[in-house]
Structure 1
Amino acid sequence: MKIKLHVQPSAKKTECVGFYNDDILKIKLCAPPVDGAANKELIKFISKKLNLKKSAVNILVGEHSRDKLIQIPLDVSINDIIDALTK
């Protein structure tokens, strides 16, 4: 499954805060956007919340951007993913 994300690095804590636009999830990251730290924090957060290995979460587009497209090996609804990420 592919998911569109908008990330905000250097936040107080890492959390999913809902939708940025109609179909883009917004995730705040406590890591700064330096040397890939924010991307590592994003992968760590998603893999932990969805009970996946870190290697199963791939950033397809946007490694150097706030707007990202990730791929995860789950076939579930976006609502189920939001529920898991906001717990």
Structure 2
Amino acid sequence: MPSVEHPSRSSTPVRLRFRVTPGARSSEVVGRYGDGWKIRVHAAPERGRANEEVVSLLAETLGVTPRDLRVVAGHTARDKIVELDRLTREEAERRLSSGEEHA
């Protein structure tokens, strides 16, 4: 029997853009920011702590494990590119939209 790929699963990594605000009161997905997303993390931008929290927040929001995410560009900058395994771009965008702060 041929294997059937789940429609929300991707065999090709997806790259998403993020504008990160470190040192925030709380960690959250804020919303769209140009062609990417804006997120806030509580951790300070020192010794990789903010990047670790970015991965943790995104893993929780997207429903994947931290191993499925990698910061591939912008390690020391506010603008980052995160590579994601296991989800399609459409499913990742849908889950990020669900995680947005609704004020």
Name the % identity: 26
CA shift digits 1:23-75 (9 cap, x unpaired): 02000111100111100100001111112111110111011110000011111
Moved over 4 A (4+): none
1:23-42 equivalence runs, <5 A: 23-42=35-54
TM-score by structure 2 length? 0.76
- Preserved CA contact (<8 Å) 1:5 1:70: yes
TM-score by structure 1 length? 0.89
Which residue number corresponds to residue 57 of structure 2? 45
Tell me, which stretches of 5 or more residues in structure 2 are unaligned?
1-13
Query: What is the one-letter code of the residue matched to 1:18?
Result: G
Task: Verify: 1:83 aligned to 2:81, yes or no.
Answer: no
Task: Verify: 1:15 aligned to 2:28, yes or no.
Answer: yes
* Rounded Cα–Cα distance in structure 1 between residues aligned with 2:72 and 2:89: 19
- Preserved CA contact (<8 Å) 2:29 2:40: yes
- Preserved CA contact (<8 Å) 1:17 1:28: yes
Secondary structure in 2 matching 1:70: strand
* Rounded Cα–Cα distance in structure 1 between residues aligned with 2:74 and 2:80: 4
Aligned length: 86
- Preserved CA contact (<8 Å) 1:50 1:84: no
Secondary structure in 1 matching 2:55: helix
- Preserved CA contact (<8 Å) 2:44 2:50: yes
TM-superposed deviation, 1:2:
0.7
Query: Which structure is larger by alpha-carbon Rg, 1 or 2?
Result: 2
* Rounded Cα–Cα distance in structure 2 between residues aligned with 1:76 and 1:40: 22
